[in-house]
Every structure is written in structure tokens, then in C-alpha cells.
């Protein structure tokens, strides 16, 4: 669970999210306990964890565990040692994949073939050195059958110079050319203010645990932090396909 969410729980902040009622008395008891901790909270889901008496709670895109009476909260990774499966990460992958699949590709800046072998979402910062290195190899990624979909994540936050540069790119007459110019350290031409998704994409990244750039997010919700070279990325993706034919 991120520091922001932990702060909400400890400080009694207000969070409003959709909740899928499961109609189970024990689930409702956990929900009531959560309401006492943070009045007004509406989690995305609550379900029994593999540990008896402990429940998985999804709130603000993060996963944590709570006892039915609300007395004990577990923050961290839940691992099934029998199968060597990180259950928390597997749940987060589902959450990330769902969040990404709900996005409109027209709000992204996309480089690559329409019928790509694989699609990779990249949270990027115009001023990030490794992001610029990644973009230098964009043609190589595309030649290997990878579609790169850029999402804005100005690390310095909304209102920063990096944020303003991202807005310039997304609002440019030719966003693709603007992205290439900006990541080469050149000024973006033909810029104008417009309605843009930069702030929303930045907030989405934060809710999904993104805290550095570039962060690569695969279609199944797997996160690859940092720069991954084209052939290495293809190898990772092909290994996933082989493991889950």
C-alpha cells in the first residue's frame, strides 16, 4: 500500500470509489470496520484472503489486508510459499491491466504498427534521461513488432516545467514529431493550449504505483521499471507467451 493511501487510513481521510457489494455478512463486517477507520470510504472490492480471518481490500488502486474486526491491518506482499506465487502482485496486475484497458488510445501518443505483436504502455517524462534513451530506439521497438503507447508522467508533478512540456507535446499539431523533438531537447513547434490528458494520466500512474520513469506496463499488468532495450523487451514478452500459450 502506498504512503498516500496509508495516510488516508491513519488520518481518517475521505476516499470515494466504486464498491461491488458481495452480499456476504463477513464481507459487510469488514466493510463496516473499514468505515470506522475511514468514514465515507468505498473500496473497490473486499474478499477473503487465503489466510483465515483476513480479508483483501482494494482501495485507490492498492491492495492491503484487514482483519474482520478492523483491529489488524497488514501492509505488504502476501506470498503463497507452496506455489511461490506473490498473490499481492498478481492482484495488482489485474487492477493495472483493467485500468489500462479502459483508456482511450487516442489520448496516448502511439508509435508502432497497427497490428503489433505486442503492446507496451510507457509512463514517460519528457526530461527523463532514460526516457529519452528509450525513444532513441523507438524505430527498433517498432521493427520488432512492438507498439509503444506513451502516457504522460511528469515526475515533478502538475504545474512543473516537465508537466508544461508534456502538455506542449500532447497539444502539438503533430504530437509524434513533438515527442521526438522534445526528447531530443529541442523546443516543440506549433504548440497551443488544449484539453489534454496529461494531468489525468499522471494521477492514474500514481494510483497504479508508478514512481519513476520510464515505467513500462504490459497488457497483463506486469510492471517493468526503467529502460528495457528492444530485444530484451521482446524476449520478456515472448517468454510470457510461451509460459501462457
- Residue 110 shares a structural domain with residue 229: yes
Place of cell 508534456: 166
**36 preceded by a cis bond (ω within 30 of 0):** no
In a domain, 95, yes or no: no
Residue 96 lies in a domain: no
Query: Contact 54/65 with Cβ under 8 angstroms?
Result: yes
Considering the domain architecture, whether residues 74 and 124 belong to the same structural domain is answered as: no
Active site residues: 125, 128, 131, 155
pLDDT of residue 12: 38
pTM, rounded to two decimals: 0.83
CATH number for position 146 = 3.40.30.10
Question: Residue 163 belongs to what domain range?
Answer: 101-243
**What is d(CA 61, CA 3) in angstroms, rounded to the nearest whole number?**
13
Q: Which of 68-77, 140-149, 219-228 has the lowest mean pLDDT?
A: 68-77
Digit-coded pLDDT (tens) for 160-197 = 999 999 999 999 999 999 999 999 999 887 667 899 99
Q: Is the pLDDT of residue 234 over 50?
A: yes
Residue 193: the pLDDT is: 81
Residue 182 confidence (pLDDT): 96
Q: pLDDT per residue over 50-71, tens digit each?
A: 999 899 999 888 899 998 888 8
In tens, the pLDDT along 131-170 reads 999 999 999 999 999 999 999 999 999 999 999 999 999 9
Separation between Cα atoms, residue 212 and residue 81, nearest integer Å: 30
Backbone φ/ψ region at 31: left (φ over 0), alpha (ψ -120 to 50), beta = alpha
Mean pLDDT of the chain: 88
Output the pLDDT for position 156.
Answer: 96
Residue 9 has pLDDT above 70, yes or no: no
Structural domains in the chain (count): 2
Amino acid at each position: 500500500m502506498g504512503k498516500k493511501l496509508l495516510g488516508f487510513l491513519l488520518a481518517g481521510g475521505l476516499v470515494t470509489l466504486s464498491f461491488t457489494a458481495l452480499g456476504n455478512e463477513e464481507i459487510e463486517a469488514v466493510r463496516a470496520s473499514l468505515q470506522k477507520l475511514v468514514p465515507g470510504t468505498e473500496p473497490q472490492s473486499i474478499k477473503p484472503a487465503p489466510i483465515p480471518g483476513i480479508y483483501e481490500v482494494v482501495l485507490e488502486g492498492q491492495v492491503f489486508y484487514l482483519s474482520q474486526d478492523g483491529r489488524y491491518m497488514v501492509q505488504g506482499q502476501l506470498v503463497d510459499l507452496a506455489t511461490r506465487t506473490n498473490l499481492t502482485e498478481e492482484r495488482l496486475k489485474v487492477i493495472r491491466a483493467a485500468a489500462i484497458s479502459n483508456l482511450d488510445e487516442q489520448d496516448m501518443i502511439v508509435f508502432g504498427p497497427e497490428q503489433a505483436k505486442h503492446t507496451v504502455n510507457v509512463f514517460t517524462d519528457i526530461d527523463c534521461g532514460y526516457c529519452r534513451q528509450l525513444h532513441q530506439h523507438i524505430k527498433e521497438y517498432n521493427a520488432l513488432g512492438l507498439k509503444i503507447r506513451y502516457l504522460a508522467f511528469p515526475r515533478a508533478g502538475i504545474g512543473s516545467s516537465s508537466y508544461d512540456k508534456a502538455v506542449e507535446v500532447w497539444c502539438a499539431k503533430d504530437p509524434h514529431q513533438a515527442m521526438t523533438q522534445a526528447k531530443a531537447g529541442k523546443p516543440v513547434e506549433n504548440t497551443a493550449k488544449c484539453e489534454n490528458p496529461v494531468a489525468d494520466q499522471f494521477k492514474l500512474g500514481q494510483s497504479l504505483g508508478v514512481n519513476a520513469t520510464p515505467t513500462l506496463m504490459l497488457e497483463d499488468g506486469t510492471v517493468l521499471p526503467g529502460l528495457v532495450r528492444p530485444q530484451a523487451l521482446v524476449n520478456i514478452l515472448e517468454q510470457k507467451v510461451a509460459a501462457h500459450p
